[in-house]
């Protein structure tokens, strides 16, 4: 009886693992099965964003679920390019910039973009830049943060977590990661950016609080 129970549990675990790998492989090879957020208004997601994290999904031996901080704080500027179906995305960081062009092929699915032409910019010229040719999925887009998944068949598969400010609530980041796990989309590497900005923001809050408390103590001593 116990042996049968053990075998059933083992089989269930193996099947679950195989199912996860099969889903990942399917998404990676064909860029399908990725859910979009519905009812997106493109004009509301244009403007300046900051890159908070870059999540790698590619199942490759060189990615081992590591997490590390990158000493930079890239910004992204998204704008319409002449019509409501043409988009430009400007990526800017310390090393340079890149300009992406995207096309919305289906007006009923504004969260699904396809690349249009090659990328331009100083990063393309001065680094070993890999041209992106594929699709972008708007996985989540609300007032203060957005998640874009870039997929190029058999080449690239990663997500970018963007925020309107240079910081994002850890609870929001955790929710994003949990949602990806539920969809069986693995995270094989996490690059965290804008960390210096987050530390500076926290330091400013603490300094302001300390100043206010000091002033309050002084005021009470003067007028008690």
DSSP sequence for 108-131: T-TTEEEE-S--BSHHHHHS----
Domain that holds residue 67: 46-192
Could you report the per-residue pLDDT of 181-224, keeping only the tens digit for each? 998 888 999 999 998 854 444 433 344 444 445 545 544 566 66
pTM of the full structure: 0.78
Gap between the Cα atoms of 65 and 188, Å rounded: 4
145 domain residue, yes or no: yes
The pair phi, psi for residue 52, each rounded to 5°, is: -95, -45
117 domain residue, yes or no: yes
Number of domains in the chain: 1
158 domain residue, yes or no: yes
217 domain residue, yes or no: no
6 domain residue, yes or no: no
The pair phi, psi for residue 79, each rounded to 5°, is: -145, 155
11 domain residue, yes or no: no
For residue 180, which of 33, 52, 44 has the smallest C-alpha distance? Answer: 33
Gap between the Cα atoms of 155 and 130, Å rounded: 10
Could you report the per-residue pLDDT of 74-125, keeping only the tens digit for each? 999 999 998 999 999 999 999 999 999 999 999 999 999 999 999 999 999 8
83 domain residue, yes or no: yes
CATH number at residue 168: 2.40.128.20
What confidence score (pLDDT) does residue 183 get?
87
29 domain residue, yes or no: no
């Amino acid at each position: 009886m116990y042996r049968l129970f053990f075998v059933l549990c083992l089989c269930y675990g193996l099947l679950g693992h195989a199912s996860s790998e099969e889903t990942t492989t399917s998404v990676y090879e064909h860029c399908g099965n990725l859910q979009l957020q519905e009812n997106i208004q493109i004009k509301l997601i244009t403007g300046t964003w900051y890159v908070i994290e870059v999540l790698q999904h590619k199942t490759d031996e060189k990615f081992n679920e590591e997490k590390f901080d990158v000493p930079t704080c890239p910004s992204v500027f998204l704008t319409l390019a002449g019509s409501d179906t043409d988009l430009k995305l400007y990526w800017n960081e310390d090393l340079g910039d890149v300009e992406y062009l995207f096309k919305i092929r289906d007006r009923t699915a504004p969260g699904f973009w396809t690349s249009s032409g090659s990328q331009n910019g100083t990063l393309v010229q001065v680094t070993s830049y890999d041209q992106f040719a594929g699709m972008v999925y708007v996985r989540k887009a609300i007032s203060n943060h957005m998640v874009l998944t870039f997929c190029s068949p058999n080449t690239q598969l990663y997500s970018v977590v963007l925020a309107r400010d240079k910081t994002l609530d850890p609870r929001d980041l955790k929710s994003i990661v949990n949602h990806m796990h539920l969809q069986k989309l693995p995270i094989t590497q996490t690059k965290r950016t804008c960390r210096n900005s987050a530390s500076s923001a926290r330091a400013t809050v603490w300094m302001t609080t300390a100043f206010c408390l000091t002033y309050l103590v002084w005021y009470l001593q003067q007028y008690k």
